[in-house]
Amino acid sequence: MHRIEFTPEARADLTAIYSFIAADAGPTRAFDYLARMRRRWEILEAFPQAGKAREDLAPKLRILGFERRATIAYTVEADSIRIQRILYAGLAWR
């Protein structure tokens, strides 16, 4: 079983997504959204190859969609899943 790790950029993405949803729909809705997202990425602990390979973008990169609004970009390491970024529709990314 793989453990989940986050890059600093992915952690910042989660904060931005929470803030964006909370400003529009309230903190409870933002929290619920991130809780559902967490259940989605936890699937990767047991099934690290679940996402689509995108090595055309970066070595070892895989992507996993979430509720048509977010994309979880991650890499599979020997014993971990490293979430690189979490991109959310409607937010501008740097």
Sketch out the chain's domains with CATH numbers. Answer: 3-88 (3.30.2310.20)
> Residue 92: its pLDDT value, please?
63
Band (17; pLDDT cuts 50, 70, 90): very high
> Residue 1: its pLDDT value, please?
83
Band (2; pLDDT cuts 50, 70, 90): confident
> Residue 93: its pLDDT value, please?
58
> What's the average model confidence in pLDDT over 58-83?
94
pTM over 0.95: no
Query: In the predicted model, what is the mean pLDDT of the chain?
Result: 92
> 74: which residues sit within 8 A by CB, 6+ positions away?
41, 44, 51, 61, 62, 63, 64, 81, 82, 83, 84
